[in-house]
Amino acid sequence: MQNITAHEYEKFVALIYDEIGITLSEQKQSLLESRFYKRMTHHGLHSYDAYYDLCLSDYSEKMEMLNLITTNETYFFRERDHFKFLKEYLVNYDGATKVKIWSAAASVGAEAYSIAMVCDSILPANKWEVLGTDINSHVIKKARMRLYQLPWSEKIPKELRQKYCLKGKGKYEGMFLINRELAKNVRFQTNNLLEPNPDLGVFNIVFLRNVLIYFNDATRKRVIENLLVNMRVGSYLIISQTENLNGLDISNLEQVDASIYKVVG
C-alpha cells in the first residue's frame, strides 16, 4: 500500500473539517490511509492527491469518503435517564399538536427506535413522530432496514422488547426486526449538522448525543445554533451525560438537568 504524505493528509484533514466539522488527529492517519487507499484503487487512481481532487469534483465520492470518517457507535436505550425524562415529558404532554422528536446524530437508528418505543407505549400513534438524521448515508440505510443483531435487543426493556421486536428466523436467525407499525412513525434522512435546516420542521425534543464530542468549541456552538432553528420556547435539547455546553455562551438555553436544556425566551 502506498503511504499518504503529511501534505496529502493535511489536505484531507482540512476538507473533512470544512465539510463535517470533525477534527482528525494524527493518530488516525494510518487508519485513513488504508481506507482512502481502497477508494483510490477502486477508481484506478495512483495518488492520494488524485483521490482528493476526485472528492472535490464528485459530490457522491466526497460523501463516500466522509462515510469513512464517522464513528457510529450506538445502542438501544443508551443513557437510560434520558428515556425516563422522555417518558415523564410524554405523560404530562397536554398539547394539541403531535409530539415531534429528532434524533439528530442517529447513526444506525437505535436511538430513534428507542425513542419511538417510549412514545408509542404512552401516546396513540397519530400523536407522535420521530425523525432520525445523520451525515453518514450508510448508517441511514441501515436504520431504514430496522434489522439488528439479536444481542442488541438485550438493552431494550423487556416489555418494550416483547411488544416491538420480532426475533428473526431462517436467514434472519440471530437478528431481530423492529415492528413495522412502530417504524411507520419513524423517518430517516441524511443531514449535516453544520448547516441549518429549517425544512426539517420544529421539534419538541432534540436528542444530540455523543456527537458534540467530535467537534471543537466553534463548531459546537455553530451546531447548537443551527438546531435552535428547529426549536421553540419550551423545546428541550438532550446531549450526552459525558458532554457539556460549557463556554459556548448560548443565552436562550437554560440547563434543567446535567445534560438537558430547555429553550427559554
Ligand X SMILES: C[S@@+](CC[C@H](N)C(=O)[O-])C[C@H]1O[C@@H](n2cnc3c(N)ncnc32)[C@H](O)[C@@H]1O
Binding residues for ligand X (CB under 6 A): 20-22, 70-74, 78, 105, 107, 111, 134-136, 139, 191-194, 209-211, 214
Distance CA 76, CA 97 (A): 27
Distance CA 149, CA 2 (A): 36
Smallest separation, CB 7 to ligand X (Å): 25
Smallest separation, CB 99 to ligand X (Å): 19
Smallest separation, CB 164 to ligand X (Å): 18
Smallest separation, CB 201 to ligand X (Å): 17
Q: Could you tell me how far CA 244 lies from the centroid of its own chain?
A: 17
Distance CA 127, CA 132 (A): 17
Query: Of 181 and 257, which CB lies nearer to ligand X in the complex structure?
Result: 257
Distance CA 107, CA 135 (A): 9
Query: Of 62 and 127, which CB lies nearer to ligand X in the complex structure?
Result: 62
Smallest separation, CB 103 to ligand X (Å): 6
Q: Would you list the DSSP string of 69-126? A: T------TT-SHHHHHHHHHHHHT---SSPEEEEETT-TTTHHHHHHHHHHHHHS-GG
Query: Of 86 and 105, which CB lies nearer to ligand X in the complex structure?
Result: 105
Query: Of 13 and 211, which CB lies nearer to ligand X in the complex structure?
Result: 211
Query: Of 139 and 183, which CB lies nearer to ligand X in the complex structure?
Result: 139
Distance CA 217, CA 193 (A): 14
